[in-house]
């Protein structure tokens, strides 16, 4: 079950090595691009979307976007509330320290 499955080996015959000519210089010609091999057919099953499955996929994606948006908004709200509470504590502490300095 957890063993890897490798694709079958390439069954093309090995290319024959060219035999060099005995001291005969060949004229230099521009090289033509090599032909592109055809893509092998894949053994993997293809996924076909029916209208119902496409609708379910879109609904699932929309739900994910809504959940992530709600989490981000709640984090931003928590940050804003924390900042406001720290500001209020700073004002109260400043007022208390100012009153302590006046009574000395």
The overall average pLDDT reported for the chain is: 83
How far apart are the C-alpha atoms of 43 and 56, rounded to whole Å?
Answer: 27
User: Is the pTM above the cut of 0.85?
Assistant: no
In this prediction, residue 32 carries a pLDDT of: 66
How far apart are the C-alpha atoms of 74 and 71, rounded to whole Å?
Answer: 5
Q: Which is more confidently placed, 82 or 11?
A: 82
Q: Is the pLDDT of residue 96 over 80?
A: yes
Q: Which is more confidently placed, 10 or 68?
A: 68
If phi over 0 gives left and psi between -120 and 50 gives alpha, with beta otherwise, what is residue 23?
left
Q: In which band, very low, low, confident or very high, does the pLDDT at 72 lie, cut at 50, 70 and 90?
A: very high
Mean pLDDT value across residues 12-35: 65
Tokens matching residue 31: 């090289």
Give the largest Cα separation in the chain, rounded.
112
């Amino acid at each position: 079950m957890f063993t890897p499955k490798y694709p079958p080996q390439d069954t093309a015959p090995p290319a024959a090595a060219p035999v060099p000519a005995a001291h005969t210089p060949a004229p230099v010609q521009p090289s033509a691009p090599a032909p592109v091999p055809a893509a092998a057919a894949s053994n993997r099953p293809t996924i076909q979307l029916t209208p119902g499955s496409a609708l379910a996929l879109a609904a699932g994606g929309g739900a994910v976007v809504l959940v992530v948006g709600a989490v981000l908004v709640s984090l931003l709200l928590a940050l804003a509330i924390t900042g406001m509470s720290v500001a209020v504590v700073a004002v109260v502490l400043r007022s208390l320290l100012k009153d302590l300095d006046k009574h000395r």
